[in-house]
Amino acid sequence: MTATVLVLLVPDSLDGERLDRALATLLPERSRAQIQKHIEAHAVQLDGEAPKRGNKTLVVAGQTIRYDPPPPEPLDLVAQDIPLDIVFEDEHLLVINKPAGLVVHPALGHHSGTLVNAVLHHVELEVDEGDVRPGIVHRLDRDTTGLIIVAKNERAHEGLARAFREREVRKQYLAVTKGVPKQRAATLDTWFGRHPTERKRFSSKVQGGKRAVTHYQTVEVFKGAALLEVSLETGRTHQIRVHLADLGHPLVGDPLYGRKGPISFERPALHAWRLAFAHPITALAMNFEAPVPPDLVALLETLRGL
């Protein structure tokens, strides 16, 4: 898999910032540690020249950053007999109802036991050798349940990637929040990037980064909680969790963006409920709905009984 060369313009909001921090803000999907290694490996240029002070180089608004990240080292992917709840399958793609606790693709710390390992046992994917995320065009957090698409071949992968890029895929989630939002329905349209001081977290209260758009409407109100239906226009890492937390209503059970409270749940209360898209090969309309998982059903029943 060949990495894409990125050419980025330093915005006014990052004038005078360190190069590594500026890149981490502009590319929230990449960790700052990874970016620092790439700068040290001479994969980054400022206005066509090597940064004189490496990571500590201060950028100036209007400068051009050329980022040529080295391709990721291929992982030794192993097929594993892990049960899959397959909602739909044809020769081009799979739609899977992912359980909580299943990591989507292998990465540092998760070389096995992932959705990709399970898919490789189920079917031989026709993808580029060395691809560390074969067939994956979007993702769900480890503890988020629900619908995810896997492409079986390059043609389907390219078609799905284009559909996601052009926002032609409709994704709807069910989320249980702490407290009830004052606005029963709203659109959250913000900048989105890594938290300035806590690098494992993301934030919608940043001055730059990428745009993130989340729509929600309140479906049911409980004592101290609410059930929301959420839809996404963009697919940033932790987007729903961050937007709702920054709104003042983190997901019940979210250990990263929320706090412990009277409502107990073992994971972020988030379920990828509905998925709609045009088939990447046949163009037929595809619509799927994943049943609410038992743990979330139990949580809702508990809340209704309060």
81 and 16 within one domain: no
Radius of gyration of the CA atoms of the chain, in A: 20
Q: How far is CA 131 from CA 84, 247, 263, 276, in A?
A: 21, 37, 41, 26
Is 141 noted as a catalytic residue in this protein? yes
Bridge partner list, 202: 194
Last residue of a domain, one of 118, 140, 166: 166
CATH number at residue 142: 3.30.2350.10
Q: How many domains does the chain have?
A: 3
Q: Is residue 221 part of a domain?
A: yes
192 and 144 within one domain: no
- Of 133, 225, 237, the C-alpha closest to 177 is 225
Q: Is residue 285 part of a domain?
A: no
Cut 0.75: pTM above it = yes
Tell me the two tokens of residue 156: 């389907």
pLDDT tens readout for residues 289-304:
999 999 999 999 999 9
Residue 283, class by beta-carbon neighbours within 10 Å (0-12 exposed, 13-18 middle, 19+ buried)?
Answer: exposed
94 and 198 within one domain: no
Task: Using pLDDT thresholds of 50, 70 and 90, give the confidence band for residue 72.
Answer: low
- Neighbouring residues of 19: CB distance < 8 A, sequence distance ≥ 6: 39, 44, 46, 51, 54, 55, 56, 57, 58, 59, 65
Last residue of a domain, one of 166, 190, 208: 166
The pLDDT score that the predictor gives to residue 110 is 66
108 and 187 within one domain: no
301 and 204 within one domain: yes
pLDDT tens readout for residues 112-147:
889 989 998 888 776 554 555 678 889 899 999 999
Q: Is residue 251 part of a domain?
A: yes
Domain coverage including residue 91: 74-166
Q: Which of 20, 141, 143, 254 is catalytic?
A: 141
159 and 198 within one domain: no
- Rounded to a whole number of angstroms, the distance between the first and last alpha carbons of the chain is 52
The pLDDT score that the predictor gives to residue 1 is 44
